[in-house]
Structure formats: C-alpha cells, structure tokens
C-alpha cells in the first residue's frame, strides 16, 4: 500500500510505524516500552532512532533528583 500526503510525501507502512514510535517518544513513554512496542532487538536501536525526541527526559530527571534533596 503506497499513498501520498497533501505535500506529495510517501505514506507507507514504514512511515506509520515510525510515527507510532515518535509519538510514544514525544509522550515521554519509557524507552524500554517503546522498544517492546516497536519490537526492536536492542535498546540502543530505540534510543538511536527516537532519543532526539525525548529532550525533556533529562530535565525531568534533574527535577526529580532536585526534589529528593
């Protein structure tokens, strides 16, 4: 199945799969959960693919650590 969006970009199964993983990452879903959903063989594949979409994870970790002190 090959479709095109309004900008003429290809929309295929791989695009939909990548969108699913990206949306999970943007919602700060645990990377191990994303790995399982995407059926990646390693966490490094998941982080290499979607890690750039989780910038608030570092901020959240620092905030939680500060709350413990």
Q: pLDDT tens digit string along 25-42?
A: 999 899 999 999 999 999
CA 61 – CA 41 distance, rounded (Å): 26
- Stretch 40-59: mean pLDDT, rounded? 90
Domain that holds residue 21: 3-68
- In sequence order, the β-bridge partners of residue 4 are 10
pTM over cut 0.85:
no
Quote the pLDDT of residue 1: 60
Instruction: Give me the number of domains the chain comprises.
Output: 1
């Amino acid at each position: 199945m090959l479709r095109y969006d309004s900008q003429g970009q290809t929309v295929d199964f791989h695009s939909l799969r990548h969108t699913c993983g990206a949306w999970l990452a943007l919602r700060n879903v645990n990377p191990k959960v994303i790995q399982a959903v995407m059926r990646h063989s390693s966490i490094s594949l998941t982080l290499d693919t979607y890690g750039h979409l989780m910038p608030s994870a570092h901020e959240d970790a620092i905030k939680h650590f500060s709350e413990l002190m």
